Structure 1
């Protein structure tokens, strides 16, 4: 293989496809990026057997060929090159020379034949989505995806299409996040995308009012995002019945300024850490939210004003879960809907129903 290409294009492509590269794998080829030079193009692929990211850039191909190069090392090399163009040549023994200006590296590559084949995806259902809307939907639900594998199906987000609406739902046993958007698609259809895949897709999505194509098969999903092709396996299993998990009714409705609430929680939970755990106590009373917490190292108290209708209530929370939900709302004001001290708190917009966040309470000990 013998190619010459633009440094900036190559660096960006390698950085993006490397996100799907496995850092530690028994198969050495999977720790690398697959390069294929053909015609006047260079295609690059990163793959960890669950997620694949690939793209194509323009290149001057003197000699066609393919090779696998260590993703981390290759990216570090080309990033540091003091030039605008980079040449890559490799021989039949996989000895590869990466050169830019007066800087030159010689490394040993891996034959492309050792790189596993990407899954063949057929019989897909196509979905067209607005790029900015999808980025927002992922961003507002990613925080509630389960991290542990106790229920693997909850380490992803449910995409549920019903009656021309797409619901993206994440749940981790302590909280739930749901985001809705109207979609030009009839019928009922659902699938579960791993959290890691959504996180990487989100990084490639731009805040643009442009459509992107998603193709879903029985076991895989393909996102076609801005010149990148992202293929991910889907998770299988029974997802939580999110509709029945969201409580109805409202004994107490509180309208708050989101930024004020976030600042107050951060002040009141200053004594809480990973080592010193304690619930944050919220007392909703007469248009005030009184926040307090008590730990082995001391006590904290803060209060803010709110618009309250309904009963007074005192309820306890994990402060981090509450902060995550409030920050994900991306609204100046939100409503907190509470059905007593042992029911999940529901966070919704003041107008419309684009999102619903649930945070489970912590049972409080009497002071």
Structure 2
């Protein structure tokens, strides 16, 4: 039997936070109006909210005073804007048998038409699944340090996500877009062997939900889907299928030059040089590695710029060209005061590593300089 009546009271701030977070999974444009909405189910003192665009679903439950249990779908954009513009008080939501829904806060009242809950698609079931736990802050830093290298090229869909590889007690996240590669590794004390690819959009939404604390996030895995439990939220996403790049083969093992440099100074230097580069005026940054300094040059049709940066270098002197944005993305993602650059030749990829160890590795392909 379908129950369409619903009458609940809920705190505005709690509701707004929940609605804002689940709204990330609302379909932007869909010919199914339920997909542009949020499913709400009121039962025994709680209100369950869910949005799902058939690829990504986000759901949560908040406490509510439920007078009459029921369920319906309300347009997400309209509903969240209404709640956002209401004062911090209790909000009454009441629906009749025709799904005409009253949303009331003090003297403010809206009447909007809901959509039957039966039109809302069911989330995929991930019950008989593998489960892994990771502290939220660790997972957040791993995602944030590898997001920048995810490909946006739909012709190779498998690279529009990041590879998660769990083996020998550690988790490794790998992103690649053809010009650069980012790898981040952390021990997580899990003895399973798992390998799956999560879409980039899911990861950027997951990162926003993850807190900077050691509370664990749960990752449940089935063949085609992953469900991440974060705080009171469940994020359900389809996985990407296909052959991910054999990234181990892409990483050079030798080097002819090893450089240590202050990250912030390097970023400031590259940003200054980049003033002459824009989407119309693409030109590589030239880096000349000498004994204790890096000389940077750039020339476009607007003009020329040059700068120098102190460093500690051991090995050959090299001159290389790089895409300024790729260099900046990697340096900003490093999160270290200093980084090590390892290079195997003027046309070999640049490896960016932390001063000690290899808990991250960023790889950037150089640009071939003219008249080389």
Same fold (TM over 0.5): yes
Runs of 4 or more consecutive aligned structure 1 residues displaced over 2 Å after TM superposition: none
Q: What is the CA-CA distance between 1:82 and the residue it aligns to?
A: 2.1
> Which residue of 221, 225, 235 corresponds with 1:220?
225
Task: State the alpha-carbon separation in 2 of the partners of residues 21 and 98 from structure 1.
Answer: 20
| 1:114-263 correspondence to structure 2 within 5 Å | 114-263=119-268
1:269 aligns to what SS in structure 2? helix
Hey, what does 1:45 align to over in structure 2?
A: 50
Q: What is the CA-CA distance between 1:212 and the residue it aligns to?
A: 1.8
Task: State the alpha-carbon separation in 1 of the partners of residues 319 and 156 from structure 2.
Answer: 31
| Structure 1 unaligned regions, length at least 5 | none
Q: Give the aligned length.
A: 367
Question: Is 1:16 aligned to 2:21, yes or no?
Answer: yes
Task: State the alpha-carbon separation in 2 of the partners of residues 57 and 259 from structure 1.
Answer: 42
Question: Is 1:3 aligned to 2:8, yes or no?
Answer: yes
Contact 2:285 2:298 in 1 (8 A): yes
Q: What is the CA-CA distance between 1:276 and the residue it aligns to?
A: 1.1
Task: State the alpha-carbon separation in 1 of the partners of residues 100 and 246 from structure 2.
Answer: 55
Task: State the alpha-carbon separation in 1 of the partners of residues 43 and 124 from structure 2.
Answer: 21
2:211 aligns to what SS in structure 1? coil
CA deviations 1:161-220 (Å, max 9, x no partner) are: 121121100000110000000121224321001111111111111010122211111111
Q: What is the CA-CA distance between 1:26 and the residue it aligns to?
A: 1.3
> Which residue of 78, 84, 91 corresponds with 1:86?
91
Contact 2:12 2:87 in 1 (8 A): no
Task: State the alpha-carbon separation in 1 of the partners of residues 108 and 264 from structure 2.
Answer: 50
Q: What is the CA-CA distance between 1:116 and the residue it aligns to?
A: 0.8
Q: What is the CA-CA distance between 1:102 and the residue it aligns to?
A: 1.1
Task: State the alpha-carbon separation in 2 of the partners of residues 198 and 187 from structure 1.
Answer: 22
Task: State the alpha-carbon separation in 1 of the partners of residues 166 and 214 from structure 2.
Answer: 21
Task: State the alpha-carbon separation in 2 of the partners of residues 82 and 347 from structure 1.
Answer: 49
> Which residue of 105, 109, 112 corresponds with 1:104?
109
**If the length of structure 1 is used for normalisation, what is the TM-score?**
0.98
Task: State the alpha-carbon separation in 1 of the partners of residues 38 and 196 from structure 2.
Answer: 29
Hey, what does 2:3 align to over in structure 1?
A: none
Task: State the alpha-carbon separation in 2 of the partners of residues 211 and 56 from structure 1.
Answer: 19
Q: What is the CA-CA distance between 1:121 and the residue it aligns to?
A: 1.7
2:332 aligns to what SS in structure 1? helix
Q: What is the CA-CA distance between 1:123 and the residue it aligns to?
A: 2.5
> Which residue of 32, 39, 42 corresponds with 1:27?
32
Q: Relative to structure 1, is the Cα distance of residues 343 and 56 closer, same or farther in structure 2, using a 3 angstrom cutoff?
A: same
| Structure 2 unaligned regions, length at least 5 | 1-5
* Range with bigger deviation, 4-13 or 287-296: 287-296
Question: Is 1:274 aligned to 2:279, yes or no?
Answer: yes
Q: Relative to structure 1, is the Cα distance of residues 83 and 128 closer, same or farther in structure 2, using a 3 angstrom cutoff?
A: closer
Contact 1:83 1:101 in 2 (8 A): no
Task: State the alpha-carbon separation in 2 of the partners of residues 108 and 209 from structure 1.
Answer: 42
Contact 1:34 1:112 in 2 (8 A): yes
Task: State the alpha-carbon separation in 2 of the partners of residues 151 and 215 from structure 1.
Answer: 26
Task: State the alpha-carbon separation in 1 of the partners of residues 282 and 337 from structure 2.
Answer: 29
> Which residue of 350, 353, 365 corresponds with 1:348?
353
Contact 2:291 2:314 in 1 (8 A): no
Task: State the alpha-carbon separation in 2 of the partners of residues 165 and 358 from structure 1.
Answer: 21
